[in-house]
Amino acid sequence: MMRATVKYVIVAIVGLGLTLVSTPAFSAQVAGRTSTKTVPVQSSTQTAPLPSTTQAVPLPSTTREYQQMDKPPVKRLDVPDWDLAGELRNLKFHYWKKPPTYKKIFNGFTFRIALMNKGKLNITRHIPVRVTVLNITNNTIIKRDNHLIRNQTISNSYWNLTPEIFAEFVLCSKTASKVNDVKLIVDIDPTNVFKEAQRHRGNNRCVATW
């Protein structure tokens, strides 16, 4: 009996010793395996595709293909019946031959007036005209005449010439010493028998200087 007990104790001691020896080796083996093998980790640089921000939206057309349209011309409602206008035409120095030598002597101007109505009406009627010859050195009147152009055609589409008008005067110390001191002023309808609005009368005067 004693011998069996001793035998059982020896076997237990030997088994315990083997267990103690194999435990560190197993631990080292497990530790070695876990320290050399890593579990794959999901990459932190992986990005999910974002929606594009460069998508181009078609811009509205700049050619105005469907917006451009021709508008009818605006009708002018402010055109008056009368807006007389005049221009000097065929302006010449006039001379006469004085006997007995018949030397040519300057004695005035001859000219014609081109007339037009910038208003609505076309008509044929008498046109009053005032002709003034002025000495510009001292602002004195050398000559002033009133003329009546009879049965003058006035159009609102084109110019019509009057008959020739003669402004007679002489150059001397009492009038003007030379023609460069003279101004010719022609006023069309000076008393406004045509009843033009005052704002339209600026083109009723023609002026010539030398």
Domain that holds residue 97: 84-209
Note the pLDDT of residue 98: 86
Query: Do residues 56 and 76 make contact, with C-beta atoms less than 8 angstroms apart?
Result: no
Q: What is the rounded CA–CA span in Å between residue 41 and residue 43? A: 6
Note the pLDDT of residue 28: 46
Asked whether residue 197 is domain-assigned, the answer is yes
Residue bearing tokens 């007679």: 168
Q: What is the rounded CA–CA span in Å between residue 147 and residue 189? A: 10
Total structural domains in the chain? 1
Residue type at position 140: T
Asked whether residue 11 is domain-assigned, the answer is no
Q: What is the CATH number of the domain that holds 88?
A: 2.60.40
Per-residue pLDDT of the chain in tens (210 residues, 90 and over written 9): 555 555 565 655 656 555 555 555 444 454 445 445 555 555 555 555 555 555 565 665 555 554 555 666 655 568 999 999 999 999 999 999 988 888 999 999 999 999 999 999 999 999 999 999 999 999 999 999 999 999 999 999 999 999 999 999 999 999 999 999 999 999 999 999 999 999 999 999 999 999
Asked whether residue 21 is domain-assigned, the answer is no
